[in-house]
Structure 1
């Protein structure tokens, strides 16, 4: 079960965090975890979430809690 986290001043669920990273709705998201890295833009804390943007793809996305920076390991 995923816990809510604060990202850029608002509470997000795993699915909402995945949507922020992807820029659109996702099919399913796993729980939010702390990433073992700092944000390359602002040095803030980075969260990580695994999600399915489509039925055939699984992506791990990372998003800074303090700024707009995000990345995925997808294509």
Structure 2
């Protein structure tokens, strides 16, 4: 796990990456990891971050390092 990574030319923390993916505030975020997959839109590298958007949920977000593509897996 890594604390900070570059996403679209900007250094982001796990919390900032989770907010980008979620589109809203989050409570807590785990470290950023490489997702070992490529972006379906541009072919760039994808990062993943686990986070809690509220006290009853845990999600894993995925975000391309090079373009705006992002998605969320809420485990359902």
Does the alignment reach a TM-score above 0.5? yes
**Within 5 Å, which residues of 2 pair with 1:50-61?**
50-61=50-61
Is the Cα–Cα contact under 8 Å of residues 26 and 54 in structure 1 kept in the other structure?
yes
After superposition, give the CA deviation of every residue in 1:15-57 in whole Å (9 maximum; x if it has no partner). Answer: 0000000001100000000001000000000000000001000
Q: Partners of 2:56 and 2:67 in 1: how far apart?
A: 30
**Within 5 Å, which residues of 2 pair with 1:19-58?**
19-58=19-58
Give me the TM-score of the superposition, normalised by structure 1.
Answer: 0.95
Q: Partners of 2:27 and 2:19 in 1: how far apart?
A: 10
Give me the TM-score of the superposition, normalised by structure 2.
Answer: 0.93
Q: Which runs of 5+ in 2 are unaligned?
A: none
Shift, 1:3, TM fit: 1.7
Aligned-residue Cα RMSD (Å) equals 1.3
**Number of residues paired by the alignment?**
75
Is the Cα–Cα contact under 8 Å of residues 2 and 30 in structure 1 kept in the other structure?
no
Q: Which runs of 5+ in 1 are unaligned?
A: none
